[in-house]
Amino acid sequence: MKSEVVLSFFFILIPSLSGLQNTFPINLFSSLISANEEKVIGKLNEDRILPCSFKSGPEVVIHWKIQDSYVHSYYKDTDQLERQDTRYANRTSLFHRDIHNGNASLSLRRLNLQDEGIYICYAGTTSSLPVSQKVVLKVGAFHMPMMKLETSSMHSPLTCSMLEVAPRPNITWQEDNKIISENVVEEIGPLPPFHIKSTLITTFPNKSYECIIENSLLKETWTGRWTMKDHLRKEKSEDISLSCQLDNNFILPNQDFSVTWSRRKSGTSSVLAYFFSSSQNTIISESRFSWKKELVNQSDFSSTLTNLDPSDSGEYVCNISSRKYTLFMVHTLDVVSSQGIQRIDSRVIHVLILLLAVVMVFTVAFMAFMALKMPRHHLPLMRRCYKTSGLQIDRVQSHILVYLEKAHSKFQTDPFILSKSYCSMGS
């Protein structure tokens, strides 16, 4: 009895499929077979396939809908897009070669966040029961992450940003591999996709900072790391080796990446060399710059700059970038001429000699002044005052005292002066 009811329903449905496709009885499909839900995650501006299958047969009818809007329709062996919602114009297609094999999947191109929702696929033929399948589409964004340091000095703002991201990401900062929370997050735009900026005030020197942005929907993570290396000082015409090596936390073999060496000076940046892993191509724009290809194959991008000149002073930045990572390693280099160093040293020596001479002149003048104020027979007392007060008399001062003792006989001074003023001052 039950089979007779189903069979009767099936024969009633056949005319609808064959002659009334434009008024397709979708409610009958929904009541006949419960929808199987499948979740699909897509990425902003990329293409995605919404799956749907049915039992093949003649006179195929396919309808894709979201709520009350038609996304794509197919019957009479061709696409029927007169009732298609304008949001989907020129963005949908079926796999025509596979339709008669039971493939009703929909290709949706150039996804946007408004495409999110529940899609229903209705498909059937004149020889098989129709099906109704539910596809839940989620769309995320994770586009153009970047890291930027305003100036390489103490308390400089280090910014980690992403131009387009949805939903809101998780952002984590680390300083020397320790999680820190002292950062400011700025969200630009009231609606997704968001432009996110997170700023951390650095406490240089010689620290490593890491920013991690995670999209939970797309299950994608991006890491930016900024490392300040030692301050280097070289003389003119010398060579220098600049290190740039990956540690074990960053693995590159299965992903394309690029390496850029650049020099920053006075607010401007000039590129010294490029390397592209996809083509194994190396472009060097500075003839004195070089790196060893055998080291590059070992994820060592250290470089050498020869025949240095004072104009080479500045910051040397090694940037390794892939889809998942952006790593910066910064060296600060000062190049000075050897003559300049000698001139600086001789000037320092001259200044020190001049200062010493001035001190000695003032010392001698003071001693002469004090000695001339006292009678000759008090000069030995002056010596005793030095000794009892812990003061030392050098050879020059001793000769001066002897000379003053010999030349002092013509001066007459109250003995009280020495004991009252000089000895008390020495103590």
Are 6 and 88 part of one and the same domain? yes
> What does the pLDDT average to over 284-289?
90
Domain holding 240: CATH number? 2.60.40.10
Are 31 and 112 part of one and the same domain? yes
> What does the pLDDT average to over 352-374?
69
Q: Is the pLDDT of residue 368 over 50?
A: yes
Beta bridge partners of 262: 271, 317
Q: Angle, nearest 10°, between helix axes 395-407 and 338-372?
A: 30
Backbone angles phi and psi of 20, in degrees to 5: -130, 45
Are 15 and 47 part of one and the same domain? yes
Cβ atoms 139, 44 nearer than 8 A = yes
Specify if 344 maps to a domain.
no
> What does the pLDDT average to over 349-372?
71
354 DSSP 8-state letter: H
- Rg, C-alpha atoms of the chain: 43
> What does the pLDDT average to over 124-150?
91
pLDDT of residue 410: 44
Domain end position, chosen among 336, 363, 391: 336
Of 130 and 137, which is predicted with more confidence?
137
CA 26 to each of CA 32, 39, 68, 120, 365: distance values in angstroms, whole numbers, following the listed order: 10, 22, 11, 10, 115
Q: Is 115 helix (H, G, I), strand (E, B) or coil?
A: helix
Range of the domain at 71: 2-140
104-123: pLDDT as tens digits: 999 999 999 999 999 999 99
pTM for the complete prediction? Answer: 0.68
pLDDT of residue 278: 82
Cα-to-chain-centroid distance, residue 336: 31
Q: Is the pLDDT of residue 418 over 50?
A: no
Cβ atoms 374, 423 nearer than 8 A = no
Specify if 341 maps to a domain.
no
233-279: pLDDT as tens digits: 999 999 999 999 877 667 666 778 889 999 998 878 899 998 888 88
Pairing of strands 106-108, 92-94: antiparallel
5-59: pLDDT as tens digits: 333 333 334 344 444 455 455 555 555 454 568 999 999 999 999 999 999 999 9
Q: Is 334 helix (H, G, I), strand (E, B) or coil?
A: strand
Pairwise CA distance, residues 396 & 382, whole Å: 15
Q: Is the pLDDT of residue 155 over 80?
A: no
Token pair of 300 as six digits: 């060592």
395 DSSP 8-state letter: H
- Number of structural domains the chain divides into: 4
